[in-house]
A and B are shown apart, each in its own frame.
Chain A
Amino acid sequence: MGLALELVEISKTYNGLEVLQGCSWTFEAGLTHVIMGPNGTGKSTLLRLCALIEVPDRGRVIYLADGQPLAPDLALKRRLTLLLPGVGVFNTSVFHNVAYGLKIRGMGSKEVEERVGAILETVGLAAKRRQRALDLSTGQSKRLGLARAMVIEPEVILLDEPTASIDQENSEIIEGIIKKIKAERKATIVMVTHDPAQAERLADRLLLMRDGKIAPL
């Protein structure tokens, strides 16, 4: 079961513009929360704060395991991940991109080989494992990003527009992978999308972001 995530009155300002304005919400553990809303309402900012790669100007982001708050240290950060909209593909092979998260956790090469191989099969990139990752198409890069996130088996997965700017085929593959994560891993998923039909298909909780705050849709 994934971790629960509680946002307490968080605010964040960029260039004098208050993107998040005292936003509070609780994302229940093990559910898929899909956030929709117009551009510029702070959805991506919210995900970066949830991923603990940025800190709010005010308020707190609290992760809870069985109701107990967790310290925002490296150990917690390694229990969650964020799929960035631009993925951030490393200039190495497909295999080594996916292996990255395991290697930095000190996993042995045999286990890395097995886990990466299995994930590449799942996302349909097994045939490209030795290829330079920067040569992948946008859709394949998104699948690579998802594989990179999945292989570390996070308890919280934050997805920032995972199917934006890609073709229908890749979009369906990615959606299939997300459904598989939901069914098999019971991770807490917080996802941002602009596709209402996709949101309906994937969400346990459908949310709307407006004026820097979250509300149920």
Chain B
Amino acid sequence: MDTIFQGFISAFKLILALNPELLKIIWLSIQVSGGALLLAILLGLPLGALMALRRLPLRGLILNLINTGMGLPPVVVGLVLYLLLSRSGPLGFLSLLYTPGAMIIAQFILAFPIVTSLSHTAIVNVNPIIRQAARVLGANPLQEALTVIREARYGIITGSIAGLGRVTAEVGSVIIVGGNIAGYTRVITTTIALETDKGNFDLAIALGIILLTISLLINVALRAIQRLGRTSSGVILWD
């Protein structure tokens, strides 16, 4: 009990002192997860929108694959990516293994199905009258599609934040493809795993508190956005 208590005291000291090692780990985590999410939005949102707005061939199959991808075990993603990126693997020539780039790819693979699927659902659920309204007011096909996507914005943001939640708390894939190299590929989750193994609880608890705070903030943001989309709050976003 004393160890835990002492761990918390030391952890708060590290946080309050803005310990450089701690800040470096947090910054890399933000870069990796932020980069992965950005990629997932850039590719997932257009794909989700395309499937929602157009009758694509094999749409059902693609949707099934994407929905299956939402439950991908991170360690499996890490393993497959490791095999692909390792020196003898088909993508070994890229020399990405044990780099932040490999970690971004791994987290992208985890976030992409979530962003795509939830964007698709949000856009599909926009009342069809919105599309008709855009059309009768003179919208061309692109303007019509953008109008429908804008109507689905709260659902799309929810999907993106859910994707961020998935990757920030993830450890399995990044530890395999990143290697947990100090100062280079060590992020919050991998540091917690390592420091716990070493019995060094101060840093692990400090990072745990930060990770929980990030999760809390993500959930608060999610709830606020959902409330904004569903209720008559009178607040307008993105006019």
Interface residues of A (CB under 8 A from B): 48, 51, 53, 74, 77-78, 81-82, 84, 86-93, 95-96, 100-101, 104-105, 130-132, 134-135, 148-149, 152
Contact = CB atoms under 8 A, between A and B. Distances in A.
Nearest to A86: B129
10 contacts: A77-B138, A81-B136, A82-B136, A88-B127, A90-B130, A91-B151, A92-B236, A92-B239, A100-B147, A105-B138
Contact of A93 (B129, B151, B236): B236
B133 A84 contact: yes
A31 to B, nearest CB: 21
B234 interface: yes
Nearest to B239: A96
A154 B167 CA distance: 50
Sorting the interface of chain B by its residue count into under 10, 10 to 19, 20 to 34 or 35 or more gives: 20 to 34
Contacts of A131: 234
B234 A135 contact: yes
Contacts, number: 70
Interface string B11-37: 000000000000000000000000000
B138 A152 contact: yes
Given A88-B132, A90-B151, A92-B239, A132 B232 contact: yes
B156 to A, nearest CB: 13
Contact of B137 (A48, A132, A152): A152
Nearest to B233: A132
A53 B232 contact: no
Contact of B138 (A78, A84, A91, A92): A78
B129 A88 contact: yes
B166 interface: no
Nearest to B128: A88
B196 interface: no
Contacts of B139: 104
B143 interface: yes
